Amino acid sequence: MGDVAGKGIEAAKVTAMARYTVRAEATHSRSPAVVLRNLNSALLQHDPDGRFVTAAYATFRVTTTGLAGRICLAGHPPALIRRADGYVRKLGRPGTFMGVIEDPDLTDARFRLAPGDTLLMFTDGATEARPRRGIPGPRPMFGERRLAKLLARCEGLDASGIVDRLHDAIAEYTGNWASDDTALLALRVPVAAGAPAGS
């Protein structure tokens, strides 16, 4: 998941180039940090004026107990993991955004998901969302804490249901007004047949 600074045609060009580069680099390395370092190099060559890009890039594999993966953050908000019991924690080590310096600080963080666990990635348009202008009172941001609390209360929902609930909550908070692009992506390991309901 990524976010390009700015809007319009130039930002769209950078987005397209970033997608192509990540897809190509992913065939050569299993390390998200290596893939994003190579993307950084491509961005510096493509857009020397420094249109920066943030990204959260995760890879994973199926195991006998769920999923095992790695994630790298490049100036992007941390991902959230919701355990089957509702406990939510941040995932990923803060890293440098891409497209500005030649040697960004990018590190892989390992994670595991068991049945009933969910991985949530999002852009800052979700956490920095504010109520519509003109609504009386203060206009605080939606915030990571509010997002995490909502995620904790998503018991029994599949990945699509989780995204829908969070999206609806953000839309209600802002009055269906968005000052920035908002993207939410959830990955949930299903509970095995015969497991207790609500896991």
Tens of pLDDT, residues 56-96: 999 999 999 999 999 999 999 999 999 999 999 999 999 99
Q: Which of 113, 115, 119 shows the shortest CA–CA distance to 159?
A: 119
Domain residue limits at 62: 2-188
Check residue 69 and give its pLDDT. Answer: 97
Confidence of residue 23 (pLDDT cuts 50, 70, 90): very high
Q: Which of 1, 4, 3, 35 shows the shortest CA–CA distance to 21?
A: 35
34: helix, coil or strand? Answer: helix
Q: Is the pLDDT of residue 198 over 60?
A: no
Each residue's pLDDT tens digit, 145-192: 999 999 999 999 999 999 999 999 999 888 876 666 789 999 999 987
| CA distance to 1, 118, 139, 157, 160, per residue, from 164 (Å) | 18, 14, 23, 10, 6
The amino acid sitting at 11 is: A
Q: Does 195 reside within a domain? A: no
Count: domains in the chain: 1
> What are the start-end ranges of the E strands in the chain?
2-4, 53-63, 66-74, 79-82, 88-91, 108-113, 118-122, 184-188
Q: Does 196 reside within a domain? A: no
Q: Does 161 reside within a domain? A: yes
| Residue 146, CB-side half-sphere exposure with 13 Å CA sphere | 15
Q: What token pair was written down for 4?
A: 């390009």
Q: Does 199 reside within a domain? A: no
Q: Does 93 reside within a domain? A: yes
- Work out the angle at residue 45's Cα, subtended by the Cα atoms of residues 44 and 49, and round it to the nearest 5 degrees: 55
User: How far is the C-alpha of 187 from the C-alpha of 168, rounded, in Å?
Assistant: 18
CATH number of the domain residue 48 falls in: 3.60.40.10
Residue whose pair of structure tokens reads 């920035």 in the numeric block: 180
Q: Does 197 reside within a domain? A: no
Check residue 125 and give its pLDDT. Answer: 87
Check residue 128 and give its pLDDT. Answer: 87
Q: Is the pLDDT of residue 199 over 50?
A: no
Q: Does 193 reside within a domain? A: no
pTM of the model: 0.87
- Which is higher by pLDDT, 105 or 182? 105
User: How far is the C-alpha of 150 from the C-alpha of 43, rounded, in Å?
Assistant: 35
Q: Does 43 reside within a domain? A: yes
- Alpha helices by DSSP H, listed for 56-100, are none
Is residue 189 a contact partner of residue 117, using CB atoms and an 8 Å limit? yes
Is residue 89 a contact partner of residue 112, using CB atoms and an 8 Å limit? no
